[in-house]
Amino acid sequence: MNDATRRWLELQRDLGGDEVIFDRPLAQRELEVERAPATVTPSPRKGSRPARTAPAPAPDSVGPTIEKAPDVAWRIVPTGDPAAEWRTGAPPIPGPGLAVTFATPTSGHGTWASLEEVAEVVSGCVRCPLAAGRILTVPGEGNPSAGLFCVGEGPGESEDKSGRPFVGRAGAMLDKILEVIEAPRATVYIGNVVKCRPPRNRAPLPDERDACMPYLHRQIELVRPKVILALGTSAAEALLGVRKPLGELRLKVHRYNGIPLVVTYHPAALLRNPNWKRPAWDDVRIARQLLDAID
């Protein structure tokens, strides 16, 4: 059995598939995913200067408009390996969910010119009380022309110390998933709803979220991904402008400013509750198929 197959089977087992018996134990090296270097967005340093340019954005004065998303007959043209094992048993792309339209930068959130500028503004941001407790801001990082944009909740301890998103245990889980669906970390963009660590890793409060969302809106607008993957309830609610249980938001293709958006469990939730691994595996394969269906 080659290493790639072994890795895939191991992930299958991790995500709740059938038990797999290996002919030899997997070496730690095989389980670890090489972490891609931060590609674009510089990590802000402790005590970095306040924002150089754009003033703090005004909160969007109007909420998003929410409609029903259009129904689309997706035409899947496999990219990557057409015989990739993740495709076996992948669920069909589900029907439409919500179509949510947020204000454009000119009418609401910031007009920063680049991802670097967003990161710089974030590094000096004091728009909410989370700023007081942070070590580093975590603006997000990744491929500036990523097809897939993953959105988490907010930095945890490891991220607060490193200034990089998803570098702790949940990050290792996310890396594994992305690798197996042939969308490795180096190819995607990873952002969060809030850019500073909430105390004791609690979910961001509505005011904190609202203060920070202009940054994420602008990052998505600059990257212009084909697909957004919302990881967990905070991300789903912030991007869809609704409060609903995750179970009601999964298994639908929503639209965020026209971009297909799939909701799944947060990787940290998968570590806590292994029963969610199998449904999450289906969700990410739906997102991956959407990448195959969009030029």
Quick one: DSSP state of residue 195?
S
CB 74 within 8 A of CB 91: no
With tokens 């000096």, the residue in question is: 124
Contact window for ligand URA (CB under 6 A) among 95-103, 125-133, 147-155, 284-292? 147-155
142 vs 154, beta carbon nearer ligand URA:
154
Q: Does 170 bind ligand URA (CB under 6 A)?
A: yes
159 vs 179, beta carbon nearer ligand URA:
159
> How far is it, in rounded angstroms, from Cα 176 to Cα 196?
25
Residues 227-286 that bind ligand URA (CB under 6 A): 268
Nearest partner of 44 among 119, 114, 110, judged by Cα: 119
Residue nearest to ligand URA (CB): 152
Applying CB under 6 A, which of residues 86, 102, 149, 166 lies at the interface with ligand URA?
A: 166
Q: How far is the CB of 75 from ligand URA (least distance, A)?
A: 33
> How far is it, in rounded angstroms, from Cα 113 to Cα 50?
17
Q: Does 155 bind ligand URA (CB under 6 A)?
A: yes
Q: Does 152 bind ligand URA (CB under 6 A)?
A: yes
Alpha helices (H) in 154-205, listed in sequence order: 157-162, 169-180
Contact window for ligand URA (CB under 6 A) among 14-22, 118-126, 155-163, 273-281? 155-163
Burial (0-12, 13-18, 19+ Cβ within 10 Å), 268: buried
Q: How far is the CB of 258 from ligand URA (least distance, A)?
A: 24
Applying CB under 6 A, which of residues 110, 165, 204, 214 lies at the interface with ligand URA?
A: 165
Size of the site for ligand URA (CB under 6 A): 13
Return all residues near 138 (Cβ < 8 A) that are at least 6 apart.
154, 155, 159, 160, 163, 164, 165, 192, 195, 196, 197
Applying CB under 6 A, which of residues 41, 123, 143, 192 lies at the interface with ligand URA?
A: 192
Q: How far is the CB of 152 from ligand URA (least distance, A)?
A: 3
108 vs 204, beta carbon nearer ligand URA:
204
Element (H, E) at 230: strand 227-231
Q: Does 159 bind ligand URA (CB under 6 A)?
A: yes
Nearest partner of 143 among 282, 25, 291, 26, judged by Cα: 291
Task: Point out which residues bind ligand URA (CB under 6 A).
Answer: 138, 152-156, 159, 165-166, 170-171, 192, 268
